[in-house]
Chain A
């Protein structure tokens, strides 16, 4: 068991090192600024493709690395640290879903959907294949992805469909971090029968939503590390009252809280990844807890990171906002604290007070 654990850890470390180098080299402050202004970071994307990260969950026979999600998803935290302005986690998860059902996985930016809980999307059989109707909201980079992996309930059960966004009417908006979030309207759009497959039994209607929550938690865990590190660095360089800011006790107390929230958020995300790696039946609770905890940390830490930076952190010139605007965006994507906390809380209450502790030790196994 330990050997297997070590082997797995070794592989994860290798992937993480390689991802870190790639983002450090190719995802600079300028890259992020340019992307927010609409310029696709070609070099970054092509390198991620060449390294195989984007098709990490695609089966080997279909040209991917055939990894387990728990092995590649830690790199999403690294993408979050660098504010990577690309649908990195989205492409990995969409590729996983398409690959699972044997649909082609193009080597291109991908999305998955629906990413909202009250989707009006319908898929109904027709002579030419399927008819797609309704709206996909908030699709990341929905105007530039090649395919969207869609999960849709039909009369014959849950289906996975590979959708071309060019067949939709698109309304492009951005989130607080300038990341494209696109609404796609489909009206009697014909989807070829070969682009639709039954969903495997282990995939449920909420599976993509859960994965989305995990992706954003991972990204936030990374962005929190960046916000913390920037605050630590700035307060060591900036001199006020004749000494570095970090010599002032009030500033020290803020840094400590910022670091505490960052640590807790990262631990919560580790816990969710761990549940995923173990195939725990309570993985959904672990992911919910990760989203609750990272969301909560984002609120406190973003405020304190800005407070530690003073006016300069409010400028466009300083890169702090690359982290904080993403924290403010990502915490509201795939469920806020109240949404997930209600689900976790209901599970706890249904189990009963006598079962509270046993449930805690099961859902968050050590």
Chain B
């Protein structure tokens, strides 16, 4: 993909969908407090996920024969950004819609597609991803979890960490070694498996984040048996498959709308306590937001055309996380929080401030993303 972020011609259908989603959310989220909404795509609510599924908004772009809606990636983009802007609790189905479903559809066997994808689209099952390990974060190729071939399947041993929502979900798509590590080609010999989180020998332990909240988990595999039909794609090709999946993770509107509710709250405060400074900062944030939306939309359009978006997605996530992280910092400087008597805003602030370090870490650290961009620049594409 070139460094120009082109967009397709406007379609009025997108605006109709936008209004439909907006009205749906107005109704569905009526009872949610503003600080709950600030949790955005980190909020879990199975009932809500099922309502979204009933509208056909999980797996919107997937084939109808697997429960999808066969709608465009641009329609999906519009639906996603409306969800985020409203602070909808989409976490349970987010990963499945964004990457597990597409991965199964592109690499899964017919039996795998039929077994998982329709239930994903109905929000009957939820997926998480198992990539990071205690010794493999940004240097993912250092992972050690190992699957060993046995009669009829594989025995998995090892530990995954930072697994968001494993305690609430049903399946994990994980990456592990299926061959001994080769120091001359560290990316070789890995494979992906879909693992039922109720598999005997699999233990899920909570990891509290710095706010004392439980989203993450440590998932320990002790002699877990998974059948042959749990292997996804080609044995040994797991690294490449997982990287393709990660590209889907970096360019979406969740990369700059995590703090959308806080932004909306800043506008409310700025009319309650008017100042030229606040007005100017809100204008600047708006300009950044508009730019990021167009970049992300452009990537959604490129993905739809089957163009490789690895680098473009890295731009969106890098710029998006800088933007998101600036919002709580700016808020405290504009509204002198020690003097601010506004519990709604302070609730939002507490959540976003404490969540903000993760914005430039999850889904690819800033340094890794910039490395990817730089390599693409040097290669001239």
Residues of A within 8 A of B (CB): 1-2, 5, 228, 232, 236, 246, 249, 252-253, 255-257, 259-260, 262-264, 266-268, 270-271, 274, 278, 286, 288-290, 292-293, 296, 337-338, 340-346, 348-349, 352-354, 356-358, 360-361, 363-366
Contact = CB atoms under 8 A, between A and B. Distances in A.
Contact of B287 (A260, A270, A289): A289
Interface residues of B, number: 56
Nearest to B85: A357
Contact of B283 (A253, A345, A356): A345
B264 interface: yes
B144 to A, nearest CB: 25
A357 to B, nearest CB: 4
If over half of B's interface residues share one DSSP class (helix, strand or loop), that class is named, otherwise mixed; here it is helix
A228 B369 CA distance: 18
Nearest to B366: A253
Interface in B139-193: none
Nearest to A286: B290
A340 B14 CA distance: 29
A353 B370 CA distance: 34
A167 to B, nearest CB: 40
Top 5 A-B pairs, shortest CB-CB distance: A341-B283, A345-B283, A256-B370, A364-B290, A252-B374
A127 to B, nearest CB: 46
Contacts, number: 171
Given A2-B9, A360-B289, A345 B281 contact: yes
Given A346-B279, A363-B290, A256 B373 contact: yes
Interface string B259-283: 0100111011011001010111111
17 contacts: A5-B9, A236-B378, A260-B373, A263-B3, A263-B5, A264-B319, A270-B6, A337-B280, A341-B283, A344-B283, A345-B281, A345-B283, A352-B271, A353-B267, A357-B86, A366-B14, A366-B293
A357 B290 CA distance: 11
A348 B281 contact: no
A238 to B, nearest CB: 13
A253 B371 CA distance: 6
A1 B282 CA distance: 35
A271 B375 CA distance: 27
A348 B288 contact: no
A338 B374 contact: no
A43 B377 CA distance: 34
A340 B279 CA distance: 10
A278 B10 contact: yes
Contacts of A361: 18
Interface stretch (B60-68, B98-106, B208-216, B294-302): B294-302
A337 to B, nearest CB: 6
A274 B10 CA distance: 10
A252 B291 CA distance: 24
Given A236-B378, A255-B377, A271-B291, A353 B286 contact: no
Contact of B371 (A252, A257, A278): A252
Contacts of B278: 345
Contacts of A290: 287
A340 B280 CA distance: 8
B4 interface: yes
B287 A293 contact: yes
A268 B10 contact: no
Given A270-B5, A288-B287, A356-B264, A259 B373 contact: yes
B308 interface: no
A210 B279 CA distance: 20
Interface in B350-381: 367, 369-371, 373-375, 377-378
